[in-house]
Amino acid sequence: MARIALVTGGIGGIGTAICTRLAKDGCSVVANHHPSESDAAEEWKKARASEGFDIATIAADVSSFEDATRMITEISEQYGPVDVLVNCAGITRDKTFKKMEAAQWQAVINVNLNSVFNVTRPVWEGMLERGFGRIINISSVNGQRGQFGQANYSAAKAGMHGFTMALAQEGASKGVTVNTISPGYVETAMTLAMDDAVRNSIIGGIPMRRMAQPDEIAAAIAFLASDQAAYVTGANLPVNGGLFMH
């Protein structure tokens, strides 16, 4: 039977590449999107179908525990229990800290970090009971090294890997692995939203002198989701063109 994979933020730039890659690898994929994006999700589903992918979509605000729990219940009833969870939903509210408002801090912590609890918690016990699971948290190079103008985002992304390391220890003896991927700058709407001068200066500082393509991130997720990665847990795999090494 095909494994069920849920990708939060699944219709976004990196999310789309993850969904199609996991589908190619034989998973039955469900792409989560925010309830406000239902029209976009319909279009997205048609676009994927025209490429030959049958990917389900489901609306839920992952920053709400109640809505995330409802989503997991619906997926279990319609498709079966989630075997592979990719926590990919994320937003930016970049501001120098002296200008950052509480709402910008809270939005980023709620969507990028609290969502990881909200979605992982309702799938976790089932994975332990079935003796198989893959949790993959999409963090960022900026969670590893910090970034000017991203105190909120860097805090949330660093927090994701703390969660990974703790939970990996709870899943290790039960066949459930928990890992982090830390992408560098990837060609998506999120990085396009940056000012041109800022973006060009960032690219100039990347040893590979280019951003990543979303497929290059998805390839790393495909590995961690696979049976071959059974002994990898609690890891933080950077995919950043050499931008940060440690």
In DSSP notation, 70-134 reads HHHHHHHHHT---SEEEE---------GGG--HHHHHHHIIIIIIHHHHHHHHHHHHHHHHT-EE
- Please tell me whether residue 142 binds ligand CAA under the rule CB under 6 A: yes
Q: Least Å distance between CB 92 and ligand CAA? A: 5
Determine the 3-state secondary structure of 176 from DSSP: strand
Site for ligand CAA in 149-168 (CB under 6 A): 149-150, 153
Q: Which of 79, 153, 185, 231 is catalytic?
A: 153
Q: Least Å distance between CB 198 and ligand CAA? A: 4
Both tokens assigned to 174 = 């039960």
Both tokens assigned to 76 = 């279990």
Question: Which C-beta is closer to ligand CAA: that of 122 or that of 184?
Answer: 184
Specify whether 185 is catalytic: no
Nearest-Å Rg of the Cα atoms of the chain is 17
Question: Which C-beta is closer to ligand CAA: that of 32 or that of 140?
Answer: 140
**What is the number of other CB atoms lying within 10 angstroms of the CB of residue 149?**
18
Please name the amino acid found at residue 243: L
Partnered with residue 179 across adjacent β-strands are 136
Is 19:42 a contact under the CB 8 Å cutoff?
Answer: no
Binding mask 177-196 for ligand CAA (x = CB under 6 A): --------x----xx--xx-
- Please tell me whether residue 25 binds ligand CAA under the rule CB under 6 A: no
Question: Which C-beta is closer to ligand CAA: that of 106 or that of 147?
Answer: 147
Site for ligand CAA in 76-105 (CB under 6 A): 92, 94-96, 99
Residues known to be catalytic: 153
Query: What is the binding site for ligand CAA (CB under 6 A)?
Result: 92, 94-96, 99, 140-142, 147-150, 153, 185, 190-191, 194-195, 198, 202
